[in-house]
Structure 1
Amino acid sequence: MSEHVTTPDEPAWGDGRALSLGWPEPLDSLGITRRLELLDAIRPLRGERILDMGCGNGSYTERLLDGFARVTGVEVEEVRLEEFRRRIADRPDADRFDLRLESAEAVSDPDGSYDAVIAIETLEHVVDHERAAAEAFRLLRPGGALYITVPNRGFPFETHSFMIRGTERRSKWYPFVPWIRPLHRRISTARNYRPADLRALLEGVGFTEVGTTFMMPPLERWGPGRHLRPAIHGLERTPARHLGVSVVTVHEKP
């Protein structure tokens, strides 16, 4: 998800500061493909039922149908959900989707309903990420997996906006702020995470880690990026991966 101008009706952190809800990835985005590939490499995205927390306009959700018989998507922004519904309305397999206006912190399914839960660039936006993690744990069957990608605190450029003296500013003018945690928490409109932060959050509600890696920037919105992409993606196999744009992790419910 990218920058997004916040509004007074959007959710807030505990200190009352607005959280951005971000923007969905374009449907043909390389970022979508890369995140799903990296998650699938840690643990195959296969099963009967999967829940997409924060499905937005379905840019990721549609692709999940390749590995699951039925896909549920929950989203708090009705406009995006309606866009998703309209786009899939004429698909012959549209009945395999279940789309609802619900938050990640309160999903209306019974315990153990899913083989997998996925939250791609979502936890950084929810009001209560501990509650969302606990809800994912509740909804998974034993042995089920939680797939997550979130902004990496090690990436030197914020991918969301900052609020500075009451004015929202484009983050690209403020490099290295993600590395300064107290400052980032004070001015950012979305959280960021280290792998250790995710482990503490998820193990705190009962998950065990399957594997964690990082995604380097896909460089798809910068013309010369296509020439650098092979070298940049190669960094995912080196210690430099810790500078990636996203943390990519899979945790299991015992």
Structure 2
Amino acid sequence: MKGQEWYQEHDIAEAYDDKRFSRGGRFIDRREKEAVLDALSPVDEKRILEVACGTGRFTVTLADRGADIVGVDISEAMLEQGRMKARAAGVDGAIEFMQADAGRLPFPDDCFDSVFAMRFFHLAPDPEGFMAELRRVSKGQVFFDTFKRYSTRSIYNWALPMGSRLYSEREVRELLVGADLELVDASHDFVVPYGFYRQVPGWIASPFRALDTAVGRSPIGDHLASVSYWEAHVPG
């Protein structure tokens, strides 16, 4: 996995949420949680796996809505942040956090109703292998996001400490076909790339997000977007 050593540092884990999802980054957090909830709901009593759960942003949100959820991540430091967040929210009894390699998930086939991975495939060195593993442990749904190859994302891609893999729609569809998954829904967002939102205060980010959303809803919005959300189902 790209940047694995960097990602597992304790100081990175401790500052992760504040660095990415405060200030203008709150708009990123809000949209990503909306995408996950729209795709997975209703989640009450549903058995869900989050791969690369990081600090538990989504894991805790879903547990609070009644999901029976497991979060796995390669970084023990990130998982500890997730455990603290779950305790603070009073949902630690509904979540199991496990350190695991996403390429060798420690679960039997068809173990979960839904499996999802956010902020994952842009770092994956073997996307085909990882997608096959998500498919293996899901008996129903796989949900994930990617960064678009032909978008504003490419402008600052070189500056990211871990690097970032970008995908065209054709490449995503080929990943799904290779894993025996059927695409059932796709949506696209963020004409203005994430990097901008993270760098500015909320009062500057707010009007930009309003404009970004308006452009995204226009006929050219999907072509200009830098982020894609994909929902796929196991055939049959």
Bucket of the pairwise TM-score, normalised by the shorter protein: 0.7 to 0.9
- Structure 1 counterpart of 2:116: 118
Distance of 2:53 and 2:75 partners within structure 1: 10
Matched residue SS, 1:30? helix
- Structure 2 counterpart of 1:140: 138
Matched residue SS, 1:211? strand
CA distance 1:240–1:132, shift in 2 (3 Å): same
Matched residue SS, 2:207? helix
5+ residue gaps, structure 2: 8-12
Distance of 1:229 and 1:91 partners within structure 2: 28
Contact 1:39 1:249 in 2 (8 A): no
Matched residue SS, 1:147? strand
Answer yes or no: is 1:30 the counterpart of 2:19. no
Distance of 1:206 and 1:36 partners within structure 2: 26
CA shift at 1:58, angstroms?
1.0
Answer yes or no: is 1:191 the counterpart of 2:165. yes
Distance of 1:161 and 1:220 partners within structure 2: 15
CA shift at 1:90, angstroms?
5.0
Percent of paired sites with the same residue: 21
Contact 1:49 1:68 in 2 (8 A): no
Pairs within 5 Å for 1:41-56: 41=38, 44=41, 46=43, 48-56=46-54
Distance of 2:38 and 2:58 partners within structure 1: 16
CA shift at 1:119, angstroms?
0.8
Normalised to the residue count of structure 1, the TM-score between the two structures is: 0.74
Specify which of 95, 98, 102 is matched with residue 97 of structure 1.
Answer: 95
CA shift at 1:160, angstroms?
6.7
CA distance 1:115–1:67, shift in 2 (3 Å): farther
The one-letter code of the counterpart of 1:236 is: G
- Structure 2 counterpart of 1:212: 186
CA shift at 1:67, angstroms?
4.3
- Structure 1 counterpart of 2:56: 58
More helix by share: 2
- Structure 1 counterpart of 2:10: none
Distance of 2:114 and 2:57 partners within structure 1: 18
The one-letter code of the counterpart of 2:48 is: I
Contact 2:40 2:114 in 1 (8 A): no
Normalised to the residue count of structure 2, the TM-score between the two structures is: 0.79
5+ residue gaps, structure 1: 12-20, 163-169, 172-187
1:219-247 Cα offsets, whole Å, 9 max, x none, are: 64324221222221122222222222211
Question: RMSD value over aligned CA atoms?
Answer: 2.9
Distance of 2:61 and 2:155 partners within structure 1: 24
Contact 2:114 2:141 in 1 (8 A): yes
CA shift at 1:209, angstroms?
0.5
What is the number of equivalent residue pairs in this alignment?
215
CA shift at 1:64, angstroms?
1.9
Contact 1:235 1:241 in 2 (8 A): no
